Amino acid sequence: MQLKSDGKRVEIFTDGACKGNPGPGGWGVCLHFNGETLEFFGGEPVTTNNRMELLAAIRALRELESLEDNGQQPLLVQLYTDSQYVQKGISEWIHGWKRRGWRTADKKPVKNEALWRELDDLSQRHQVEWFWVRGHNGHAGNERADRLANQGVESVLSEKSD
């Protein structure tokens, strides 16, 4: 499904899930734009919850490029995640990681560096506000993203059993 763009505001809810950590994992996205909703999910057979949280945000921002009639104009994006790892990582920690050559404050390599680099690149293309919401707390958008992420896990598990 292609969404039509008015070049304005996008509201995105993302979540990741993992059965075991590491283990089979999934990610889910619920995107509201121009009066329409787009939902999608995916997963990996062996991954971590943090990777799935990052991948959900990446897939959501990638999808913005396919919005019909956008003309490649930056969008105003409100992205909601229940992952403080993602929200603080992209809003706060990433600046220090970049200054230190993708090293943490204790000089260790940043975990999931390739995903962080991609998320940083994608988020620079739009005006993104990052919001943390408490997971499993009745927030409708987060609850929907959680169900989608778990569908991602189930899709991976059903592929393994085929």
Q: Is 36 a catalytic residue?
A: no
State the Cα torsion 140-145-146-147 to the nearest 10°: 90
Superfamily covering domain 9-161 = Ribonuclease H-like superfamily/Ribonuclease H (3.30.420.10)
Domain ranges of the chain: 9-161
Answer yes or no: pTM beyond 0.85: yes
Q: Is 126 a catalytic residue?
A: no
Q: Is 121 a catalytic residue?
A: no
State the Cα torsion 119-122-128-129 to the nearest 10°: 0
Query: Is residue 82 a known part of a binding site?
Result: yes
Q: Residues 16, 25, 26, 42: which is the catalytic one? A: 16
Query: Is residue 106 a known part of a binding site?
Result: no
pLDDT in tens, the chain (162 residues): 445 545 578 999 999 999 999 999 999 999 999 889 999 999 999 999 999 999 999 999 999 988 755 556 789 999 999 999 999 999 999 999 999 999 999 999 999 999 999 999 999 999 999 999 998 888 899 999 999 999 999 999 998 776
What are the two backbone dihedrals, phi and then psi, of residue 100, each rounded to the nearest 5 degrees?
Answer: -95, 15
